[in-house]
Chain A
């Protein structure tokens, strides 16, 4: 019998640097999948996003599968030992629940984000088209996506700004109006920068400039949305070009200083929205005195988030309860799978019996001269077939009665042949 398994790293368990090293772009995901399947795992789906990299499996032994997945992953990505301390592993029903929560974006960094369902769908379709995923994970992922739709339509989880990222977008809107037309600069490669980026991507911003001391670390941002990559040395150009700049580096000192802001605002009419979400701060508070500059910090955003959170009520709880119902439906289907082998055996045997009877009556059909003869043959055939089918349960029922299990057997026969009818 198949069991679900899920293993990986997410924003909850691992820092951005580790997630970066665990990333599984398509070629690497294919390599990983082939190696895992070569070790006896039946179905594999790889989900790789900015906030999580996960491998979902279907196998007979999920505990062993999880070890295989982590081992192969280490080989493929060249990860050093000990990384698995930051990884999560779910088996059986916990894995099913996890996959449902991921697809419904209840497990997301930005609660209710709209991107994850399409990312899950793409991951599954890719795996299915490559023949790496069959009916079990197909049913599981499709069920999770249906549940995700239900959560989205029956709750207000995806609306408005619940997150810090959403609050940043709201503030940017208050200053510059339509976010889609804005040029957004992301300075830094940390989780908070990624969070702000996801907010602006969701809000429809199209033009991004990424800046970091080590530009190579911005690779995962470009998978979320294409953009130009700069080093911190070009920060003056970034400030002059952008309408919104989110600063979230790990720098110990100020990265954006008043002279830099004054230079950026020289000869410029558009306001500049600066958001400092770094700890310690990246932007000198004196920058706020520069005309046309709107400088906000994480505390300011939290004010906005609190207002929104109050108005959103307990949408997350409603979503969780909806998911619980859907997970239970999948669980019922999953339990029914345990009958599949025995049912297949019964069907095979019944078909063999039927075929033997057909062979036995074949010559009598050919000898039938009249319609009356043919009718008699068919009646005999039906009688013989019924006797053959009923012989094993009849013998079994008598045997059970002789052993004192008559009640149990009667109930089973009633359930199987009389559709539960006691009369």
Chain B
């Protein structure tokens, strides 16, 4: 293995290592007796996401290609969006209680991406701006929908703790129900819209390439199901009579179609 290849090998595992370290650090804090976190933790989180972004762009630039050459590399972008969206959510909720699950997921995503490293399979004509926009929107949408599912799970946990009159560590550290609900809805709306746009760009790209849609029917169907599921959820959520708890359950279950889309999508185009 040449020196440059070795560097590339090491560099692609850096985001995984950083996210895993952050996940461990925040998981440990859950068990700490002091509820307030040290001020430098926030800088660490921002630094980790920034470093991932820089490495992602530098790799793409050094390899003279669009941000990603395979779906596994696109997964790395999705991880970046997920971690970035977490920083935004944390800022809006004024709570870093969900850092551990978000960074665990980010470590999982970036680890999968690094482990499945392979040479770019996409021919040059595929690497068009339209295709890159399609994949970027798609993975960003999926990342937001994963975030929405995590927030729904956090809402259900907080609800259970408060109803059971348990005011322990879990309840103290999770954000309040109203904030979780608001953020869940925001993540779901942004995720649905972005995924829909990503899907639409994919269809336009295929038509422009003269390809037939039935070749990607499983992925297309799952994206459609995911979008419809979330649209129904948002429509129901707006009705005053529909309980927030039911909406949270729907949001949590929504991780299933999102997971299938990721699984199907990561396998190829």
Binding site for B on A (CB under 8 A): 171, 173-178, 267-269, 271, 288, 291-292, 294, 296, 300, 303-304, 307
How near does chain A come to B181, taking the closest CB pair, in angstroms? 9
Which B residues from 98 to 130 make CB contacts under 8 A with A?
A: none
Measured between alpha carbons, how far is A300 from B178 in the docked complex, in Å? Answer: 21
B244 CB within 8 Å of chain A = yes
Q: A269, B241: Cβ atoms under 8 Å?
A: yes
How near does chain B come to A370, taking the closest CB pair, in angstroms? 81
Do A178 and B163 form a contact, CB below 8 Å, given A267-B240, A269-B244, A271-B244?
no
Contacts of A171 in B (CB 8 A): 162, 167
Q: A269, B162: Cβ atoms under 8 Å?
A: no
Contact mask for chain B residues 140-181; partner A; CB cutoff 8 A; 1 contact, 0 none: 000000000000000000100011010100010000111100
Measured between alpha carbons, how far is A178 from B182 in the docked complex, in Å? Answer: 12
The 9 lowest CB-CB distance pairs between A and B, nearest first, are A177-B178, A177-B176, A267-B241, A174-B176, A269-B240, A300-B165, A176-B178, A177-B179, A175-B177
B91 CB within 8 Å of chain A = no
Q: B167, A176: Cβ atoms under 8 Å?
A: no
Q: A269, B167: Cβ atoms under 8 Å?
A: no
Contact mask for chain B residues 233-269; partner A; CB cutoff 8 A; 1 contact, 0 none: 0000001111111000000000000000000000000
How near does chain B come to A189, taking the closest CB pair, in angstroms? 27
| Chain B residue nearest to A311 in the complex (CB) | B35
How near does chain A come to B100, taking the closest CB pair, in angstroms? 20
Contacts of B178 in A (CB 8 A): 175-178
| Chain A residue nearest to B165 in the complex (CB) | A300
Q: B165, A176: Cβ atoms under 8 Å?
A: no
Contacts of A292 in B (CB 8 A): 243-245
Binding site for A on B (CB under 8 A): 158, 162-163, 165, 167, 171, 176-179, 182, 239-245
Contacts of A294 in B (CB 8 A): 162-163
Measured between alpha carbons, how far is A267 from B242 in the docked complex, in Å? Answer: 8
| Chain A residue nearest to B237 in the complex (CB) | A269
Contacts of A267 in B (CB 8 A): 240-241
Contacts of A291 in B (CB 8 A): 243, 245
New A-B contacts (18) at CB < 8 Å, excluding given A174-B176, A176-B176, A300-B167: A171-B162, A173-B176, A174-B162, A175-B176, A175-B177, A177-B176, A177-B179, A267-B241, A268-B241, A269-B239, A269-B241, A269-B242, A269-B243, A269-B244, A271-B177, A292-B243, A292-B245, A303-B165
| Chain A residue nearest to B240 in the complex (CB) | A269
Contacts of B240 in A (CB 8 A): 267-269
How near does chain A come to B62, taking the closest CB pair, in angstroms? 46
Q: A304, B245: Cβ atoms under 8 Å?
A: no
| Chain B residue nearest to A177 in the complex (CB) | B178
Q: B177, A303: Cβ atoms under 8 Å?
A: no
Within 8 Å by CB of A176, from B158, B177, B242, lies B177
Measured between alpha carbons, how far is A267 from B241 in the docked complex, in Å? Answer: 4
Contacts of B244 in A (CB 8 A): 269, 271, 292
Measured between alpha carbons, how far is A271 from B165 in the docked complex, in Å? Answer: 15
Measured between alpha carbons, how far is A296 from B182 in the docked complex, in Å? Answer: 24
Measured between alpha carbons, how far is A300 from B163 in the docked complex, in Å? Answer: 11
Contacts of A176 in B (CB 8 A): 176-178
Q: A174, B171: Cβ atoms under 8 Å?
A: yes
| Chain B residue nearest to A167 in the complex (CB) | B167
Contacts of A271 in B (CB 8 A): 177, 244
Give 12 CB contacts A-B under 8 Å.
Answer: A171-B162, A173-B176, A175-B177, A176-B178, A269-B241, A292-B244, A294-B162, A294-B163, A296-B165, A300-B165, A303-B165, A304-B167
How near does chain A come to B247, taking the closest CB pair, in angstroms? 9
How near does chain B come to A323, taking the closest CB pair, in angstroms? 29
Measured between alpha carbons, how far is A307 from B35 in the docked complex, in Å? Answer: 11
Measured between alpha carbons, how far is A329 from B214 in the docked complex, in Å? Answer: 89
How near does chain A come to B113, taking the closest CB pair, in angstroms? 36
Measured between alpha carbons, how far is A269 from B243 in the docked complex, in Å? Answer: 5
| Chain A residue nearest to B93 in the complex (CB) | A177
Within 8 Å by CB of B177, from A174, A288, A296, lies A174
Measured between alpha carbons, how far is A304 from B168 in the docked complex, in Å? Answer: 9
How near does chain B come to A264, taking the closest CB pair, in angstroms? 14
How near does chain A come to B33, taking the closest CB pair, in angstroms? 10
How near does chain B come to A72, taking the closest CB pair, in angstroms? 50
Within 8 Å by CB of A303, from B167, B242, B243, lies B167
Q: A307, B167: Cβ atoms under 8 Å?
A: yes
Contacts of A307 in B (CB 8 A): 167
Measured between alpha carbons, how far is A307 from B176 in the docked complex, in Å? Answer: 18
